[in-house]
Structure 1
Amino acid sequence: MNIGVLGSGGREHALCYKLTKSKKIRNIFCIPGNAGTGRIVKNLDVDISNFQILYKEILKHNINIIIVGPEQPLVDGIVDFFNQKKILIFGPDKFAAQLEGSKYFTKLLCNQNNIPTAKFGVFNNITDAESFIDRNKMPIVVKADGLASGKGVYICETKTHALNVIKEILSGKFISSSTVLLEEFLSGEEMSYFIIADKNGYKFFGSAQDHKRVGEGDTGPNTGGMGAYSPSSIINNI
């Protein structure tokens, strides 16, 4: 069996490393990969945003299963594309990927299915956003609606800070986001709870606690992730 792992970050390096431990896999390709993945598997220098070119490379190297690392190709519909080509690919389709690609979509899904979530509002102009801020307590959470590499969430202690962040987002700081989501601040400890799901059901796939802030002691702006540990220490409290 030949496996293709799409992406070029630490996530894909970890996936490739774990896959090398399987005796069922003949060849592993990381597309496009990085210096680290190149030491343990074969990198293929291919633009994964160009699905047609990627498809030709998948056929050329007889890749049986594709594993998608980054969020952007999922949001762009890569799973739908390869499903049509009858090539096995691991990841959510374009519709389901909206859970990652749009915070607004996820909030609406929560409301429609009675899933507890923080009070929120979605805005595309500064006037309405400011009115929402005035009606709520500080701190307030400001989020870019679309993908932002984990950097589109701000906990703002003052109205001035919140308005400055909103202006940055609406002026195009995150190209994928033309709207801003404002949310009440909830204090507590965060945990990620993972599952793998298909049309027949789901399986628990572990837990983790991610630390995104750039500074020591969880201070400073968010990043894509400064580090994480698994399992989460609070999972037994659920």
Structure 2
Amino acid sequence: MKVGIIGSGGREHAFCVALKKSRNVDEIYCFPGNAGTSSMAQNIILNLENFNELKNFITLKKIDLIIVGPEKPLVDGIVDFLEKNNIKVFGPNKLASQLEGSKIFTKNLCQKHNIPTAKFGIFKNSRGANEFIKKTNYPLVIKADGLASGKGVYICINNKEAKSAIKEIFQGKFGKAKNLLIEEFLDGEEMSYFIISDGLTIKNFETAQDHKRVLEGDLGKNTGGMGAYSPSRMINDELNEKILKKIIKPTLRGLKELGATYKGFLYAGLMIIKGEPYLIEYNVRMGDPECQTILPKLSSDLLEIFLACCDKKLNQINVKWHNKKSLCVVVCSKGYPDNFKKNILIEDLDNINLNESEYCYHAGTINNNDKIYAVGGRVLNFVCLSEDFSEARIRVFNLIDSLNWSGGFYRKDIGYKVINK
């Protein structure tokens, strides 16, 4: 079987590694992929905003299944387009993808179906937003409405920070802004909760906790993710039932009322307060770096899971997991998430010796004449499976030390909430 993967990050390299294990996968194409995927797949450069160009290539190469990694093509309707052209594709359609494409869409859905979430207000201009923040309590949360690559969220502790956030959003830092969202601050512990669905059946797809802030102690600017660990320390049977009953199932029912069945991964960003889950936001795909953290734990055939979702046969699949802890640390280019240099040579990747429970997933890399260069902010993802998080982190650090790359940096406290110092 021929499989195509859309995306170029660590998530897509993790898909490649997992799919390569399937006895039914003959060829993998990545659009556009990275240096890591190029070692096991064909990287193809296409204009991904030109859906016809992609369709023509899929048809030419007789690709059997397309997997959409990142959010933008999903929100833009790539699934709808490919399905209309009789191409099997894994991911939610355009309407269902509004769960991530518009935070306001999701908030209104929560309000209608009594899904627990933070109280909120929607503002169309800076004047109204600035008037509101004069008479509210701090801290508060200000969010850009549309896609922002995981960075369009501000936690503001005073009026000055709130005014700055409002200004940046309405001035277009995350694209043209028609609205912004102001929410109450929920004080609890975050958790990333994943399910997979074929529109009829849902299956749990593990939990994780990521570290978004660039500095240790979860300080500094938001990033796409500096690392993650799985499972979350908070998950238990009782909480799992609450999440499904109060958040996931009402959301999927709400989408059905709007005419959308949900197919693909659904990632609920949650805040857990005294054992009760509150929805922070939805992502309509696997997280990054949560995907890199979770997939090494999967013992089932990932291709079979994808196909079962596309064929509405997920109820026939038993999703199995290794009973291990997993921890991922992201190595970033110096200067990230602000300005960073590109095309920086990474010389010592060959020095890294990985055993069967260790992984190095590429993200912002390219292969040029058999040399690997860093071209993105997040460059490499090092993951270890272990019986405990502390050992996993030590082994990750040993791998990073063997890389000995002067052009990068990483957080040394990933997993600090689950690791006793």
Structure 2 CA distance for partners of 1:222 and 1:213, relative to 1, 3 Å: same
**Structure 1 counterpart SS, 2:211:** strand
Q: Does 1:171 align with 2:199?
A: no
2:142 is matched with 142
Query: Offset at 1:204?
Result: 1.0
Q: Matched residues in 2 for 1:178 and 1:217: separation? A: 34
2:189 is matched with 189
1:73 is matched with 73
Query: Offset at 1:176?
Result: 4.9
Query: Offset at 1:131?
Result: 2.5
Q: Does 1:152 align with 2:158?
A: no
Could you report, residue by residue, the CA deviation over 1:169-198 in whole angstroms, capped at 9, with x for unpaired residues? 101111153321111101111111111123
Q: Matched residues in 1 for 2:9 and 2:199: separation? A: 29
- List alignment gaps of at least 5 residues for structure 2: 240-421
Q: Matched residues in 2 for 1:27 and 1:99: separation? A: 32
Amino acid at match of 2:84: Q
Query: Offset at 1:156?
Result: 0.6
Q: Matched residues in 1 for 2:153 and 2:230: separation? A: 23
Cα pair 2:170 2:176 within 8 Å, conserved: no
Query: Offset at 1:136?
Result: 2.0
Cα pair 2:143 2:154 within 8 Å, conserved: yes
Could you report, residue by residue, the CA deviation over 1:27-85 in whole angstroms, capped at 9, with x for unpaired residues? 11111111111122111111222100000111111110000001000000000001101
**Structure 2 counterpart SS, 1:225:** coil
Q: Matched residues in 2 for 1:175 and 1:22: separation? A: 40
Could you report, residue by residue, the CA deviation over 1:85-135 in whole angstroms, capped at 9, with x for unpaired residues? 111100000000000111111111111110011011111212211222233
User: How high is the sequence identity, in percent, across the aligned residues?
Assistant: 58
**Aligned CA-pair RMSD:** 1.1
Q: Matched residues in 2 for 1:60 and 1:98: separation? A: 31
1:125 is matched with 125
Q: Matched residues in 2 for 1:198 and 1:20: separation? A: 23
Cα pair 2:193 2:208 within 8 Å, conserved: yes
Cα pair 1:140 1:156 within 8 Å, conserved: yes
Larger Rg: 2
Q: How many residues are matched?
A: 238
Amino acid at match of 2:78: I
Query: Offset at 1:216?
Result: 0.5
Q: Matched residues in 2 for 1:40 and 1:9: separation? A: 15
TM (normalized to structure 2)?
Answer: 0.55
- List alignment gaps of at least 5 residues for structure 1: none
Q: Matched residues in 2 for 1:199 and 1:154: separation? A: 33
| Segments ≥4 residues shifted beyond 6 Å | none
2:411 is matched with none
TM (normalized to structure 1)?
Answer: 0.97
Q: Matched residues in 1 for 2:10 and 2:86: separation? A: 29
Q: Matched residues in 2 for 1:230 and 1:202: separation? A: 20
**Structure 2 counterpart SS, 1:214:** strand
